[in-house]
Amino acid sequence: MTASSPLAEAPLGVFDSGVGGLSVLAELRRAMPQEDFLYLADTAHVPIGGRPDAEIRDLTARAVAALHARGAKGVVVACNTASAFSLSHLRERYGPAFPVIGLVPAVKPAVAATRSGVVGVLATPGTLRGTLLRDVIEQFAVPAGVRVLTAVSAELVPLVEAGQAGSERARRVLREVLTPLAQAGADQLVLGCTHYPFLAESIRAEFGDTFALVDSGAAVARHTRGVLCGAGLCREGGERGGVRYLVTGNPAAARPVIETLVGRGRHNVTVQQVTT
């Protein structure tokens, strides 16, 4: 472990286009309970998956710049779409002194775990359009002879953003897009968007144990801790850290959804509006 930097006491930034990255934030807090976090949700522009590639990169760059300006010591881009289009640009801009960590769809563990030889990926239009998912399929699934099937929906992210992850509408959409994967024999379902872990109960209600649900949150948290500690940026000791929640849209609309997803009554949730 590298000697601690003066920046070790600074918060770690976490960015998502909306509230989906809260699923990653939960894993980060489990892995690094002593850290403080700045969580920025670009709720003014969610969902971003259908936007042009250059606009996705611009929105992500603006969000990361806002976190950097507020004293973050690094950023986890907790959004599959933003990661697919922006990581190389961000790392070139900030360099190693400001770690930028992104998401990779959890195809590797799904391929290792499948018994049927068929893996499903539930993705957003943006993640499906980017090259990152194709790259990990080529790297891990193709050599193993595993068939990867994708399901895509533009409706699921807005439903989670609206606090309707358990609604009948969400379950109807999931039935429509995931039934072909179940019929094809998929036994692993990669949740290719940080919003989708919040749909786990609805998926299980519709499909029971048909799929093992696989996401990258815990792996990203372990990787983030390794990167921070390797750079002397881990905050060691002390009390459990806190979270500041920032949104680009209406904080009054975002607050009840955030409170529900992080656990109402267990957290003192204050949501601040910012401009990126």
Residue 45 is assigned to a ligand binding site: no
- Domain residue extents for the chain: 6-103+218-273, 107-215
Sign, CA dihedral 106-107-112-117, equals positive
> Does 234 participate in catalysis according to the annotation?
no
List the catalytic residue out of 25, 75, 151, 193.
Answer: 193
What is this structure's pTM?
0.88
Residue 60 is assigned to a ligand binding site: no
> Does 193 participate in catalysis according to the annotation?
yes
Which residue(s) pair with 271 in the sheet? 245
Per-residue model confidence as pLDDT tens for the chain (276 residues): 555 778 899 999 999 999 999 999 999 999 999 999 999 999 999 888 778 889 999 999 999 999 999 999 999 999 988 998 899 899 999 998 999 999 989 999 999 999 999 999 999 888 888 778 899 999 999 999 999 999 999 899 999 999 899 999 999 999 999 999 999 999 999 999 999 999 999 999 999 999 999 999 999 999 999 999 999 999 987 788 999 999 999 999 999 989 888 875 555 688 999 998
List the catalytic residue out of 67, 72, 79, 214.
Answer: 79
Fold adopted by 107-215: Rossmann fold (3.40.50)
Residue 17 is assigned to a ligand binding site: yes
Q: State the CATH class of domain 6-103+218-273.
A: alpha beta
Q: What are phi and psi of 12, to 5 degrees?
A: -100, 130
Fold match between domain 6-103+218-273 and domain 107-215:
yes
Contact 55, 276 (CB under 8 A): no
Residue labelled with tokens 């068929």 = 118
